Amino acid sequence: MIAHPDHPPALESWQHTLAPYSMGYRIKILSQLLTRKFTEALEPFGLTPFHWLVLCCLWQEDGLPTSSIGDKLKQVGGTLTGVLDRMEERGLVRRERDANDRRIWRIWLTDAGRELATVLPPISANLLDEAMSGISGSERELFSQLLNRAIANLS
């Protein structure tokens, strides 16, 4: 952060909160760069990063209610519904009504959706390794813990 003679003195104490120096701005840039590169990596599969997130939820627990997926991903229903529509059209998931509560739709992976669990995680891991090049394992873990704490603080 460079002091500039034209800056009001009061701004100097807030320099760390102003773009391009603020942590929020730098996290936004990192997110945009990761999203851009991941979008490119997923393009040959006809998928988006949002499809990836839904698949991750279902790889961990298949048959989730739509509302649970939305809660996990902090998404509103309309956005998720469109994504699930496209995933169903591509044969990655299927929807079924809950046997005990007909108001609930459960989302299940198809064979094609399950098969992607062997293909896509290494692509994601490689991108993360590229982004974290030169950062030790303990630093990565600390960074992850700090991000989790900041997210929890604002949730």
pLDDT in tens, the chain (155 residues): 455 666 666 677 777 777 787 889 999 999 999 999 999 999 999 999 999 999 999 999 999 999 999 999 887 556 899 999 999 999 999 999 999 998 999 999 999 999 999 999 999 999 999 999 999 999 999 999 999 999 899 88
- By CB atoms closer than 10 A (0-12, 13-18, 19+), residue 140 is middle
SS3 assignment, position 121: helix
What is the pTM (predicted TM-score) of this model?
A: 0.82
In contact, 51 and 42? CB cutoff 8 Å: yes
Distance between CA atoms of residues 20 and 138, nearest Å? 27
